[in-house]
A = this chain, B = another copy of it.
Amino acid sequence: MSITGPDEEREFLAAYRPEDYHPVAVTVDTVALTLRGGALSVLLIRRAMPPFAGFWALPGGFVRTDKTASGHLVEEDLDEAAMRELTEETGILADSHLEQLATYGDPTRDPRMRVITVAYLALVVDPPDPVSGGDAADAAWTPVAELNLATADAAAGAGARRGRPLAFDHARILADGLERARAKLEYTPLATAFLGPEFTIAELRAVYEAVWGRRVHPGNFHRKVLSVPGFVVETGQVTERGGPRGGRRAQLYRAGDARLLHPALLRPAGEGAEQ
């Protein structure tokens, strides 16, 4: 019953015709987050083509698995596809952080055919305004607070921009991406991926406050960050000036080499965000 010899295996592979099987497409969609004016913002595009033409959506598109005009077979990894689509549709580079989120495969999630999408979470440092391209009619950094995401059950079809919900199941993907970011701030140095190479403790605290949507005690936060080995390392430099309305000049830090935070910075246990 089983085929075990190398010759049989070679024959089997030669006779295998991919196009006979499995009419399914694979896309990638990216939840790209950044801090703009202190507000946690997500990169959205307005779809130029059906389905959901005119709707806002996460940037993304089909993974390249097909032959090009030159007959060359394009084979890109999923991560590469996510970065390529992000740049094509918005001009934004996911240079600070990119990680896989989850895969969504509800058979009804795309009206065209069976499409499963691999979702990514990207963080971007101090990005420019996006420039729409490809299948995107528009692109914009959108404050997360402006989207009607009930913090608990955004899965239930919420996530609207200017009154219109997001395309496909993108509201749920966005909610999952936000939760991932919130959770990873607790036990990884992910917050530093929102910031440039040098930052102050107050800027780091601003990341936590924006992502968690709650105030963090400045004094305790300061002491705690410095007490976690490898989280940040002192540069010896201080900021050029104090705050705009007075205040001491702050030490500058760089991200350390810790990949996990011990001890972790736990979210306050209290309920929902305040915004």
Contact = CB atoms under 8 A, between A and B. Distances in A.
B9 A105 contact: no
Given A2-B137, A13-B111, A62 B106 contact: no
A202 interface: no
Measured as residues with beta carbon below 8 angstroms from the partner, the interface class of chain A is 35 or more
Copy count, this protein chain: 2
A contacts with B: majority SS: loop
Contacts of A103: 78, 100, 103, 118
A114 interface: yes
Given A24-B25, A105-B118, A118-B103, A113 B50 contact: no
A65 B23 contact: yes
Contact of A9 (B4, B12, B53): B53
Contact of A4 (B21, B53, B105): B53
Nearest to A9: B50
A151 to B, nearest CB: 15
20 contacts: A2-B46, A2-B137, A3-B48, A3-B49, A4-B53, A12-B49, A12-B51, A13-B51, A16-B112, A22-B24, A23-B66, A24-B24, A24-B25, A24-B26, A63-B116, A75-B114, A77-B105, A78-B103, A78-B105, A116-B118
Interface of A: 1-4, 8-9, 12-13, 16, 18-19, 21-26, 46-51, 53-54, 62-63, 65-66, 75-78, 100, 102-103, 105-108, 111-114, 116, 118, 137, 262, 269
